[in-house]
Amino acid sequence: MPLPNYTALDYQGALQRLLPRGRVWPREPDAVQSQVALALAQVYSRTHARANNLLVDAFPPTAYELLPEWEATLGLPDPVLGPATTLQGRRGQVVAQLTAVGGQSAAYFVQVAANLGYTISITNFAPFRMGQSGMGSALGGPEWAHTWAVHAPLNTVISFRMGQSAMGEPLNSWGNAALQELLRRLAPAHAILQFHYT
């Protein structure tokens, strides 16, 4: 549901309806009292619009003016990832930092990547065991119990989007360096990550 925006004329009408009735309280647009009410209403209208903007800006996925405060609160830009070059990327880093509460499941890492704008899938490997592994299964030693592969496109393209990007940003940005650095940092210490790009 969109937030209501009241204009200065709406506030002027509200102020005039609060005044007593009579010849001393004219309602005509060119009356001095109407012009004073309109002058006061300009302030109320601007304040109302800024309050509505604050409600939108309070949420990281839509933040613009408060984005630097979100980044400072979360310790961004990340020393490993560096500063994001686009508004979408900055918002993505904030959301990823807020929602990265920890986990070791493949679904968790897929969601963390999605928050940054990457689409990935993960394959978990297992060591070959006689009697448990089927014919044609890959041969692997005990280290395969801790190995997993991240499948991602060779170049993830993040495109300029109206309402999500800012003026002056490139129409497209790409690369997987941020994805690799983030997943390596979040992965458990014993995990061996492989990155497979198609």
Domain spans in the chain, listed from the N-terminal domain onward = 8-57, 76-197
pLDDT at 182 over 90: no
Return d(Cα 27, Cα 30) in angstroms, integer.
Answer: 9
- Cβ atoms 186, 197 nearer than 8 A: no
Exposure of 154 in the CB half-sphere (CA atoms within 13 A): 1
User: pLDDT for 12-65, tens place per residue?
Assistant: 999 999 999 998 999 999 999 999 999 999 999 999 999 999 998 999 999 999
pLDDT at 177 over 80: no
Query: What is the DSSP code string of 131-142?
Result: TTSPTTPPP--G
Q: Say what the pTM is.
A: 0.57
Strand stretches in the chain, DSSP E: 121-124, 147-152, 157-159, 172-174, 192-197
